[in-house]
Chain A
Amino acid sequence: AQKVTQAQTEISVVEKEDVTLDCVYETRDTTYYLFWYKQPPSGELVFLIRRNSFDEQNEISGRYSWNFQKSTSSFNFTITASQVVDSAVYFCALISLSFNDMRFGAGTRLTVKP
Chain B
Amino acid sequence: GAVVSQHPSRVICKSGTSVKIECRSLDFQATTMFWYRQFPKKSLMLMATSNEGSKATYEQGVEKDKFLINHASLTLSTLTVTSAHPEDSSFYICSARSGGNTEAFFGQGTRLTVV
Contact A43 B111 (CB under 8 A): yes
Chain B residues near A109 (CB, 8 Å)?
41
Assuming A43-B111, A95-B102, A95-B104, is B43 touching A102 (CB within 8 A)?
no
Query: Chain A contacts of B102 at CB under 8 A?
Result: 33, 50, 52, 95, 97
Residues 4 to 35 of chain B near chain A (Cβ within 8 Å): 32, 34
B109: chain A residues within 8 A (beta carbon): 43-45
> Within A74-112, which residues are at the interface with B (CB < 8 Å)?
91, 95, 97, 100-107, 109
Q: Which of B56-115 contact A (CB under 8 A)?
A: 91, 93, 95, 102-106, 108-109, 111
Tell me the count of chain A residues lying within 8 A, CB to CB, of chain B: 21
The number of residue pairs between A and B whose CB atoms lie closer than 8 Å in the complex comes to: 47
Contact in complex: A47, B43 (CB < 8 Å): no
Among B41, B43, B44, B108, contact of A44 (Cβ-Cβ < 8 Å): B108
Partner among B1, B95, B111 whose Cβ is within 8 Å of the Cβ of A102: B95
Q: Is the CB of A33 within 8 A of B43?
A: no
Q: Chain A's nearest CB lies how many Å from the CB of B91? A: 6
For the complex, give the distance between the alpha carbons of A52 and B104 in Å: 14
Q: What's the least CB distance linking A64 to chain B, in Å?
A: 17
| A residues less than 8 Å from B42 (CB atoms) | 106-107
A residues at B contact (CB < 8 Å): 33, 35, 37, 43-45, 47, 50, 52, 91, 95, 97, 100-107, 109
* 23 A-B residue pairs with CB within 8 Å: A33-B102, A37-B106, A43-B91, A43-B93, A45-B93, A45-B106, A47-B1, A47-B105, A47-B106, A50-B102, A50-B103, A91-B44, A95-B104, A97-B102, A100-B49, A101-B34, A102-B34, A102-B95, A104-B44, A106-B42, A107-B42, A107-B43, A109-B41
